[in-house]
Amino acid sequence: MASLIDTTVLSYGANGDGLVLIDDKPAYIPQAVPGDRLKLRVGSDRHIEVLDIESASANRVAPVCALFDSCGGCSMQTTALPALLEWKTGLVAHALQRAGFDNLPRIEAMQVPVESRRRIDLAFQRLPGRIILGLHRRHGDVVDMTECHIIDPALFALLAPLREVLGSLGAVTGGGDLQINLYSSGPDILLSTDAALVPTDRVKLANFGKTHKIPRISWRSKRRPNDGYEIVAQQGPVFHAFGSVKLTPPPGGFLQASAQSETAIAEAVLAALPALNRRDPIVELFAGFGTLTVPLAQKGRVLAYEGHFEAIAALKSGAIGQRIETTHRDLTRQPLIAKEFEKARVVVLDPPHAGALIQMDHIARSKVEDIIYVSCNPQALSKDSALLKKAGYEVLSITVIDQFLWSTEVEAVVAFTKSKKRLSRRQT
């Protein structure tokens, strides 16, 4: 039998849903905001229906996007952005506290502006007479992205003509995926379809690239993504600039979500470095194609390691004349052992979402005094940094970057040190 309950939302859950207690057991309410007073109908199977928001949290706002209820891209638009930044800052702090760090320094935090995202991964589906292009709704099908307050307007402007050209391709028999990176040279497109491109498809894509000033369009099989990609249309050079250095990333290459966050992350890393001379070795792990490598090379000699061959090849070919040495190495299968860090003055790492895994154990057992960790996952940060805590490191500085607005994702730059001299100067 169903019952009516009045309850207050206590906090957020891991997916951004509001946490309430029903019979002392946790339950999660989508779109609820901590501080909301809710009237709920709870079924005998614990199915929950929100009947009313009896009083709204001070941090509750109206969603800015008409697609909020359906699109899977933003789960937290009912919360004011400043409150979200505060919550994400707390996620990072709690992750470090769970790892054993109690005396944390003051946390610096920033949030990117709306309509600044320059990297998008979309899905598309052919329906009778049209193509829908957008994100998957929560546990569901593709929602057509007719509105977006996150992505750069230059990317959003491409969606309508992309629907048109996708609808004309013989290779689009059902669904597929589309990745777009807005590099310094312009949009770079990687298309995945079930069927192979036919010759007329290639002509259409080339014409599309020429019309919309897209330097490169690449394709790969959705069914066999490990077969790699092929460039099907190129109108000009493809590059991304880090200061005065221009590198050519591979199709689908990793790019920080916004230009503002790219700058903020690099600045936080550089600010956390110990005093270096230009010959001091900086070991950089999970280097990608140079987001941090190039700025770091202005401070010392960078030994960059990356497991993705095309990314490290792009860095190597574009960093000629820089103080950068590149090594292709899968750090999850062949991590650097503690002895290999003997000459390192500082270690900088930007691991994938799962964290540094076994590599972190070798770092913790090394004699390196200073480590700068760029995190995109508080849970992985907590696990990895616990090893550093056991090895005697303390947290020197923390910078939180919210580059994924209205989502649960958060980026952070955390500096660890064993230097008592540096810790004595730490802000608290």
Residues serving a catalytic function are 376
Distance in Å from the first CA to the final CA of the chain: 54
Q: Backbone phi, then psi, for 51, in 5-degree steps? A: -85, -35
Distance CA 123, CA 143 (A): 9
Phi, psi of 111 (to 5 degrees): -135, 135
Q: Locate all alpha helices (DSSP H) within 69-152, ordered by sequence.
A: 81-98
List residues bridging with 130 in a β-sheet: 127
| The three-state (H, E, C) secondary structure of 169-233, written as one string | CCCCCCEEEEEEEEECCEEEEEEEECCCCCHHHHHHHHHHHHHCCCCEEEEEECCCHHHCCEEEE
Beta strand 48-55 with 37-42 is antiparallel
CB-count exposure of residue 339 (10 Å: 0-12, 13-18, 19+): exposed
Rounded to whole angstroms, how far apart are CA atoms 90 and 20? Answer: 19
Which tokens sit at 83?
Answer: 């409150």
Count CB neighbours of 207 within 10 A: 12
Q: What share of the chain is helix, strand, coil (3-state, %, to 5)?
A: 25, 30, 45
Q: Which amino acid is at 203?
A: V
